[in-house]
Amino acid sequence: MKSFTPPNRILLGPGPSNVHLRVLEAMSKPTIGHLDPKFIELMDEIKELLKYVFRTKNEVTFAVSGPGSVGMETCLVNLVEPNSKVLVCINGVFGGRMKSIVDRCGAEPIELKVSWGRAIDPNLFEDTLKKNKGINVCSFVHAETSTGAKSDIKTLTEIAHKYNCLVIADTVTSLGGIPVLIDEWNIDVSYSGSQKCLSCPPGLSPVTFNERALEFIKSRKTQVQSWFMDLNLILSYWGGSSKRAYHHTAPINSLYALHESLLLLKEEGIENSWKRHKTNGEKLVEELEKIGLKPFVIEDERLPQLTAVTVPEGIDEAKVRKSLLDDYNIEIGAGLGELAGKVWRIGLMGYSSNEENIKACVGAIKNIFGK
């Protein structure tokens, strides 16, 4: 066995996205202790930078030491008590994952099923809340990574609050790529991932909790079922006080990387990042349509940072992906779940979202098609 040398991929899948050299360099700086005063300073800066990207003043805004799925589970296990009712919107793989977690919390998931590739319909959402008494938490995905569909979480949150529900919004694929306005939209709890539009290596999940959510958690009647994900315990380490206590050993170097990737985003300006993602996403669709490929999601509900493309009849989709990877060093994503074999997912996220990559990708597909 030898040291590993990864190929130099252009990452145009559903994440991870390509990582800026500055971020990779930050990650390789010498490890220091998780209670080192210099590291505590870094944690404080990361919290500030995350507040910037989440557009929030929430004090409890930090990075969970695990991938986005751990962020999802952290938000749910803290908010969901056994025997409670949770409205779970399912318009793709990640809504389904939320349901499974709610189930494992001993709560009752009330499902709102929506066609894959479509946004969550606010009217159906309100109907579900009307019909089912006793729901106290609603969860939905802003940008469904499995389909490329965007839901209007501002409106969903307004409705949920009318029915006295807290909301948990999955912003894994949206944060940094399209507006996520936690405070303006009154989102109670949200989790994201480092490896999408933040262009950091995978392994961290930024989260934010507002005061309403924290009060709710404090008034829980039962213990949070996970030790690692119990917010009360995590906050002894990530919390606001100057005296930080050991909870777990943070992934030091991964946090160096997150800090640098957030700095890059701040240097660009988040509005500019949204604009860049929008422009490039529209350009990609335009170019794909020129070679006869059709976006799977209707224009109004389409994410600019992740485009699901319908696989044309008679095409062996896996062969196309293999050729892109082997002959062009380009990774795009396969369909997931019920879309397996039916779509490709082309991501233009974070540092991967640029014109060169659109040209490279569309050009390569065109070549493979022999056009």
**226-245: contacts with a second copy (CB under 8 A):** 226-228
- Of residues 128-167, which lie at the interface with a second copy (CB under 8 A)? none
Q: Which is nearer to a second copy, 1 or 123 (CB)?
A: 1
Instruction: List binders of a second copy among 95-134 (CB under 8 A).
Output: 97, 100-101, 103-105
The number of beta carbons lying within 10 Å of the beta carbon of residue 121 is 18
66 vs 95, beta carbon nearer a second copy: 66
- 3-class SS of residue 23: helix
Q: Could you say which residues in the range 299-358 bind a second copy, by CB under 8 A?
A: 325, 331, 336
Q: Collect all residues with Cβ–Cβ distance below 8 Å to 330 and sequence separation of at least 6.
A: 9, 10, 12, 324, 360, 361, 364
- Residue linked to tokens 């979202």: 353
Binding segment (CB under 8 A) for a second copy, from list 7-15, 179-187, 276-284, 353-361? 7-15
Q: H-helix or E-strand containing 318? A: helix 317-328
Single residue of 54, 185, 209, 256 touching a second copy by CB under 8 A: 256
Examine residue 295 and tell whether it contacts a second copy (CB under 8 A).
Answer: no
Sequence-distant (≥ 6) Cβ neighbours of residue 128 within 8 angstroms: 87, 110, 112
Alpha helix locations (H) across 63-164? 68-79, 93-104, 122-131, 153-162
Would you give the DSSP letter of residue 198? T
Q: Which amino acid is at 170?
A: D
Least distance to a second copy, CB of residue 212, Å: 25
Task: Give the torsion sign (CA, 140, 146, 151, 153).
Answer: positive
Kindly indicate which of the ranges 15-23, 112-120, 279-287, 360-368 contains the residues binding a second copy, using the contact rule CB under 8 A.
15-23
For the bound state, the minimum distance from the C-beta of residue 96 to a second copy, rounded and expressed in Å, comes to: 11
Residue ranges in 45-84 that form contacts with a second copy under rule CB under 8 A = 45, 48-49, 65-70, 73
At closest approach, how far in Å is the CB of 159 from a second copy?
A: 27
Is 176 a binding residue for a second copy by CB under 8 A? The answer is no
> If binding means CB under 8 A, how many residues of this protein chain bind a second copy?
77
User: Rounded distance, CA 342 to CA 216, Å?
Assistant: 42
